[in-house]
Amino acid sequence: MIEIHGECAAGFEPVRAAFEENFERREELGAAFSVTRHGETVVDLWAGWADPDRTTPWRADTLTNVWSTTKGMTALCAHHLADAGLLDLDAPVSGYWPEFAAAGKQDVPVRWLLSHRSGVTGIGLERPVTVEELYDWDHVTGLLAAQAPLFEPGTASGYHALSFGFLVGEVVRRVSGVDVRAYFAEHVAGPLDADFQIGLDSEDDLARCSTLVEPVLSAETAGALAQAFANAGPAALAALANPRVRGRDANEPAWRRAILPALNGHGTARAIATIYGALASGRLLSDKALANAREGQGREADVVGGLGNEWALGFYLGSEERGFGPNPRAFGHDGLGGSSGGVDPESGIAFGYTMNRMGPLMRDDPRKMALVNAIWSRER
């Protein structure tokens, strides 16, 4: 039996049960899950181990690399600037970042970066990139500025798996004068006292990190993945294979210290729930800015991931998958392997989920879905 730590308010017992079941039936190693309702924490649970050797218990302040859950935090920086009147989401990116106009991208608006419609899904394979190169901000943003679109901008969505953070982050830097890590810390995490950072900068924080464990793929899943890469077009290969990032890369100190605003946010489940909860309560964005952030851009099959979904501006909409609760207009972002954060502004409920044993999916991991469904099961 796993020892569950933390608190669970009356009425949310199904969430605790689902959290415990993830350890008993879904091979959870270490994890945390937090829920806020109208700004009040109603669930804050953690359990398990921060390392695969099971020597370090998961604690309330254990930090975890949450992969693309970071994208939602980076998007919030852009929306915060827009809310302040400093960034026009419909203006061309090149108006803020002149070098981006290269290769026919002069008319691409900022909103197409946020909705994965710019065509710059990554760096083309003719210029191979290593994981270590990702740590050089100016180098990577320079390559992306020069990159020709890999599909006609505005005609489709193609998941900007790595490039999203550099593209949106560079716009944030050009507009605000500080890098996205600093902007996020000052204007999002700091005011909320939320324990979430885009890249770590202290030895104490590095010592709090859990160790990620890569998923073990079945032969069927591994074969399907290999076939998908064999059939992938240039947009997908640029997004997912240049470089080919592995789960173990996120355990390296250099990765943890870098600024990778699509990939290396480190935080607690409590922090993620706090930040999304602040959206529901109006503490981060005005009503108008929140409406803009969750504005659907049309449902379609993504040309990179092949999944049907509907993007808002920097976030997934729940849509028919109901990935953030029963409300199809609830929104948030998942991270590779399972982590997630989301909010349903109509109910006032927000949540955050962190874990270190990665699953094979890019979104809607079964552990996360069990927890999300449990939140609303009390109302059925």
Q: Which residues are catalytic?
A: 68
Amino acid at 155: T
Helix (H) or strand (E) holding 256: helix 253-257
Distance CA 185, CA 3 (A): 33
Q: Are 15 and 7 in contact (CB under 8 A)?
A: no
Written as six digits, the tokens of 116 are: 């994965």
Distance CA 146, CA 100 (A): 7
Distance CA 48, CA 228 (A): 34
Q: Residues 355, 360, 363, 368: what is their CA dihedral angle, to the nearest 10 degrees?
A: -40
Q: For the chain, count helices (H), then strands (E).
A: 14, 12
Q: What angle do CA 182, 187, 188 make, to 5 degrees?
A: 100
Burial class of residue 108 in the structure, from the number of CB atoms within 10 Å of its CB (0-12 exposed, 13-18 middle, 19+ buried)? buried
Q: Are 7 and 43 in contact (CB under 8 A)?
A: yes
E strand spans, 99-239? 196-198
Written as six digits, the tokens of 375 are: 């939140």
- Side-chain-side CA neighbours of 286 within 13 Å: the count stands at 8
Q: What single DSSP character describes residue 173?
A: H
